[in-house]
Structure formats: structure tokens, C-alpha cells
Amino acid sequence: MAAAVLPEAYRANTSPAVPDWLNKGDNAWQMISATLVGLQSVPGLVILYGSIVKKKWAVNSAFMALYAFAAVVICWVTWAYKMSFGEKLLPFWGKAGPALGQKFLIEQAALPATVHYHKNGTLETAMATPYYPMASMVWFQCVFAAITVILLAGSVLGRMNIKAWMAFVPLWLTFSYTVGAFSLWGGGFLFQWGVIDYSGGYVIHLSSGIAGITAAYWVGPRSKNDRERFPPNNVLLMLAGAGLLWMGWAGFNGGDPYSANIDSSMAVLNTNICAATSLLVWTWLDVIFFNKPSVIGAVQGMITGLVCITPGAGLVQGWAAIVMGILSGSVPWFTMMIVHKRWTLLQKIDDTLAVFHTHAVAGFLGGILTGLFAEPTLCSLFLPVANSRGGVYRGVGGVQILKQIVGGGFVIGWNIVATSIICFLISLVIPLRMSEEQLKIGDDAVHGEEAYALWGDGEKYDMTRHGFSSDDTMHGKTSSGATQVV
């Protein structure tokens, strides 16, 4: 009887399925990190969005997130991945191309434009070549792209035409996200200059916050009734979504060294330190100024902490993470609670979930603070530019702060212009805003579906039979504190 032959995938390390360059630990961590980030979107933000909005918008808000995730996956592997991490086309853009073929996906991961040279032309840092296949890199970067568009959606919930959103997602991914990703991560001009964005404070959060408020301007505000009263339909489910977002951030920041190394461990610890500090600071500010702790406020404080630490998660010391948490819990709180109410422009633009404050403000703040606190030894473990350091460590640290400000400025400018052009072009074909009837009725008019069958087994709400508005509670109280903003 002939001896059984094992398939290639199960043979020893000499088999083609386990090449010499493959590090199984790194590959396992990268796939786990990608899954954690994916869970932040589906189901994390799907649950959070569907719960934090008024009941009549629960289905629409959750579906906008679900659709965006699916659409980005297909666009990413078809053309957008290589625009973000492939061969250089322009100083801020890569060459478009598919990431679908077997030959490409089973080779060792490599980011070709990341080779870094000294000013005299000698090699400073070699091309980034993680010890796992391109398939792992493509999927890991895909979930980052997806969550960026979903975060942007938070600014336009409750009134953007779903058909316009379906067109917006691939266009914004192509002409905005890929530019920031290549410029800062894929080997573009900001990467070469030494701007630090460890895990997306600029590429993801600053861009989504700025693009979100820009899109909100073009789409227009919610209906008058929705702006005046927009209570969450399920606070407990909202907390479940927020919890998935927080725990998923271990993959968000822990996976960005492209390796299961000591830098990823530092990043995960700092992420939790900053988030916890920020949540506590935001909550205490609500108690001090509004006399009650807001649950939505606590979630916002958690998010601003996670966002703020992201650009420097693996590059700062623990004490700096606490300082960043204090500032991320107070500065966005101040812009949301004080500046927003006094600045006419911000009041005119209806940013449904305050994405500008929680992501743009917190992301830019984190980028600048990274330029201040980035520790030299930790920088040497991660960054391609030798001798990078934060301002508190003197030397070239002062220049790093300038680089961070300029890098953030580029991301802000590009997103305002690109998002405006995309919205304008879509408006020529599809109305950006729902009809007045849809705005009044909500999910049932837009999707023919409702989130909850509150009046029996599938029985729909009838005002003549049930007596009070399906979106309002009977006690008639208005929300206060952080809740009022959302």
C-alpha cells in the first residue's frame, strides 16, 4: 500500500505553502488584527450607528455602514489597494491596478515606494517587506479603508440619499482616501519627508472628520424636527457597538508595525491608557458643567482618546499617553460644547454625530502631540527616517512638530477640495438629499423596513391607535449635556 502524501499546506517548512520568509506568528497577528479592525465596522459601527440615532433612522444608518464596508472591499482589491501602496505614479498617488491574482497575493508582502534615501542619495531605510504574504497586507489595509468611509458617514446620517451614498463611497475611496494613504504610508512625499502617522490619526480620522463635515455642508441639514430632538433609540446597544470599537482598536494600533513585535505591545497598552483617561476626563467635565454624567458623552470621550493616541500609539511613553488622554478628553469637549455653539459656521453645518470634533479635532491634536512626545528609541523601532524624535527630546524635535502641522494641513486641504468636487458631481446626477417625504417618515419610506416592531407581531405604528409619536418618549423631557449635541 502506498504511503499517504500530505497536501503541500501541511508539510514541513520546506513546502511552498510555508516559504522561508513566512513568519507564522507575524502572519497570525496580522490576520487577527485585520479581523479586529473589521469587527469595529461590522458589527461595531453598524450597531453603534443603528442605536445612537432616532428610531426612524436606525435601519438607514446601520445600512449605510454595512453597504460601505462591502463596497470598499470590492473597490479595494480591484484598483484602490495599489493606488495606496503600490508603485509610485505621483508624489501623492500610486498606480491603480488589481490585487486579485494568485501570483501577486502569495508573494512576500512589500510596499515598493517605501524605500527611503538620505539627502545625499545613499540608502537610509530599505523597502518595507513584512514576513507574510501580500494577501494579509491587502486585507489588513482594506479594513482600514472601509472604516474610514464608515466614520465619514456619521456626519450625514438622517438625510443623505442612499443612492447618492452608494455612488459617493467608491468615488471618495478612489480620489481621497488613496491619496492620504499613499502620501503618509505607501511611500509618498509626506512619508519621505518624515511626517509621523503611526496608525491613521491623519489618514483615517482627520480625513474622515474633514470630509464628513464637508459632505454634511453639501448634503444640507436634517429636518427641523430631527435637529431639535434626536434621542438614541437604544443606549445599551450603542454601548455594545462602542465596546466593539474600543476592543477592536487593539488590532487597529497593534497591527500597524506589520509585525508581532515589542512596538505593537507598546501601541496596544498606550491605546487603552489614553482611551480610559479621555473617557474619565470627558465624563467629569460633563458632571462639572452639566451636573450629570452623559453616557453618550462617555462614548465620545472614549472615541477621542482612541483617535488621539492613534498617530503615536507605538511611539510615545505611558506617561505621554496619559497626557494625550487628558487633552483628548478636554480639547474636543471644548470645541464641541463651547466653540461649536458660538461659531456660526459650525452651527449651520449639521454634523449628525459630531465627527468633526471626535475625529478631525482629536486626530489633528494627536498628530501634533505625537510630534511633541515621540520617543527616540521607540521611533527607531518603527520609522524610516533616522533620528526622528518629539519636541520634548530636543534635537530635531521642533522640526517634527512643524512636519506634523504641515502634514495635517495637506490632509485637510485635499479632503475639503476632493469631497466638495465629488459631492458636486454626484448632485448633477443624483440628489444628495432625501425627499421631504423620506425625511419625515424615515426608514419605512427609504427601505420599506423598520428597526423595531413595537406594536405587536409585525404590526406597524398607527398614531390613531397608539396615541403618541413613535420617535418620542412619553415623559417629554429634552436631552442635555453631550446628548444634546448628538
For residue 240, pLDDT over 50 is answered with yes
| Phi, psi (deg, nearest 5) at residue 305 | -70, -45
Helix (H) or strand (E) holding 123: strand 123-125
Mean pLDDT of 453-474: 52
**Measured between alpha carbons, how far is 261 from 269 in angstroms, rounded to an integer?**
13
Amino acid at 255: G
Encoded amino acid at 298, one letter: A
- Taking the CB of residue 429, how many other CB atoms lie within 10 A of it? 9
- Which class for 398: exposed (0-12), middle (13-18), buried (19 or more C-beta within 10 A)? middle
- Residue pair 135/102 in contact by the 8 Å Cβ criterion: no
Neighbours of 387 (CB within 10 A): 12
Burial label, 184 (beta-carbon count in 10 A; 0-12, 13-18, 19+) = buried
Euclidean distance between CA atoms 71 and 246, whole angstroms = 24
Confidence band of 3 (pLDDT split at 50, 70, 90) = low
User: What integer pLDDT is reported at residue 480 of this predicted model?
Assistant: 43
The pLDDT of 171-187, averaged and rounded, is: 97
Asked if the model's pLDDT at residue 457 lies above 60, the reply is no
Q: What is the value of pTM for the model shown?
A: 0.91
Q: State how far the Cα of 28 lies from the Cα of 161, in Å rounded to an integer.
A: 40
Q: Tens digits of per-residue pLDDT, 376-390?
A: 999 999 998 888 999
Mean pLDDT of 61-89: 97
Q: Which has more confidence, 425 or 342?
A: 425
Per-residue cell: 260:
508581532
For residue 18, pLDDT over 70 is answered with yes
Residue labelled with grid coordinates 453631550: 482
pLDDT of residue 483: 42
User: Would you state the pLDDT for residue 463?
Assistant: 60
Lowest mean pLDDT among 81-85, 100-104, 116-120, 198-202: 116-120
| pLDDT value at residue 99 | 96
pLDDT reported for residue 424: 97
Averaged over 3-28, what is the pLDDT?
75
CB atoms within 10 A of CB 165: 23
What is the average pLDDT score of the chain? 91
Instruction: Please report the pLDDT score of residue 119 as a whole number.
Output: 83
Q: Which of 128-132, 229-233, 335-339, 473-477 has the lowest mean pLDDT?
A: 473-477
* Ranges of each domain in the chain: 24-115+122-427
What's the whole-number mean pLDDT along residues 29-56?
96
Helix (H, G, I), strand (E, B) or coil at 364: helix
For the chain, the C-alpha Rg in angstroms (whole number) is 23
- List pLDDT tens digits, range 127-176: 999 999 999 999 999 999 999 999 999 999 999 999 999 999 999 999 99
- Residue 263's pLDDT is 94
Residue 94's DSSP bridge partners are: 88
Q: Is the pLDDT of residue 469 over 60?
A: no
Kindly report the backbone phi and psi dihedral angles of residue 133, in degrees, each rounded to the nearest multiple of 5, phi listed first.
-75, 165
Residues 6+ apart with CB under 8 A from 265: 254
Question: Under a CB-based contact definition with an 8 Å cutoff, are residues 157 and 352 in contact?
Answer: yes
**Residue among 71, 49, 67 nearest 58 (CA):** 49
Q: Is the pLDDT of residue 478 over 50?
A: no
Q: What was the pLDDT predicted at 360?
A: 97
For the stretch 263-273, what's the b/e string if a residue is b when 16 or more beta carbons lie within 10 angstroms of its beta carbon? bbebbbbbbbb
User: What distances in angstroms separate CA 105 from CA 27, 83, 256, 257, 426, one per listed residue?
Assistant: 13, 16, 19, 20, 34
Domain formed by 24-115+122-427, architecture:
Orthogonal Bundle (1.10)
Provide the pLDDT for residue 7: 63
In this prediction, residues 284-300 reach a mean pLDDT of: 95
